[in-house]
Amino acid sequence: MQHRIVGMLIASAVATATLTGVGLANDPGRASALTATQATDAYDAFVATYWDADAKYFTTYSDRQVHQEHAVGPQGGLYTDYWWEAQNWEAVMDRYERTHDAASRQMIDDVFDGWQAAYPDFRQNDWNDDMGWWARGAVRAYELTGEQRFLDESEEVFGFIAQYEDTTYGGGIWWKNVDVGDGTKNEKNIATNGTAVQTALRL
């Protein structure tokens, strides 16, 4: 599923680049397969397959069943893991940024509300990179909607993550907020620090 989400995000970025005349648009052979209609169809199919409007959450698998090989996330893995949902949220924002349709605008709110219902205290997570995806997504949601609650959330999550920065290894934020300082159980990586830098710059 990780590869599917990453692939979806890459496809979204490529489609955006093509539609805006950047990147692959200079290669007609490759860009011709990416039209606004195809981008819309792909997104709509993704939402139809994985989105649970009642739960306001994306399911982990297309059959909407729990699979023990990845039983992580709300309801024993029926719904996507903490950071996966943040990346799905970004896909919804990609759609809204491209089309400004009412349905995807509503979904920006719904995904956020579903995540907060599943995780009432975002701090109940050992992984700073997981939280970093939500901080990055929330500041983007604020930029797109102007809703103060998204900015507040980004600032709060980022503030929590930032306290795990120190000078070990030349600086940066620890991957986990447990085992801090123990290089045999923790590390400083790009998943944590890349999203933190992006969020810090936007804040």
Domain segments of the chain as ranges:
1-120, 125-203
pLDDT, tens only, 31-88: 555 788 999 999 999 999 999 999 999 999 999 999 998 888 999 999 999 999 999 9
> Is 80 exceeded by the pLDDT of residue 203?
yes
In percent, the amount of the chain with pLDDT more than 70 equals 84
Please, which pLDDT band fits residue 136 given cuts at 50, 70 and 90?
very high
Q: Which residues are within 8 A (CB) of 40 and not within 5 positions of it... i.e. 6 or more apart? A: 99
Beta bridge partners of 57: 52
State the average pLDDT over residues 91-96: 97
Sequential DSSP letters for 6-67: HHHHHHHHHHHHHHTT-GGGG-HHHHTT--HHHHHHHHHHHHHHHEETTTTEEBSSTT----
pLDDT at 79: 96
Model pLDDT for residues 18-33, shown as the tens digit of each residue: 344 444 445 555 555 5
What is the pTM (predicted TM-score) of this model? 0.82
The pLDDT tens digits for 148-174 are: 999 999 999 999 999 999 999 999 999
State residue 183's pLDDT score: 94
Rounded to an integer, the average pLDDT of 103-130 is 97
Does 132 score more than 60 pLDDT? yes
Q: What is the mean pLDDT of the chain?
A: 88
pLDDT range class, residue 189, cuts 50, 70, 90: very high
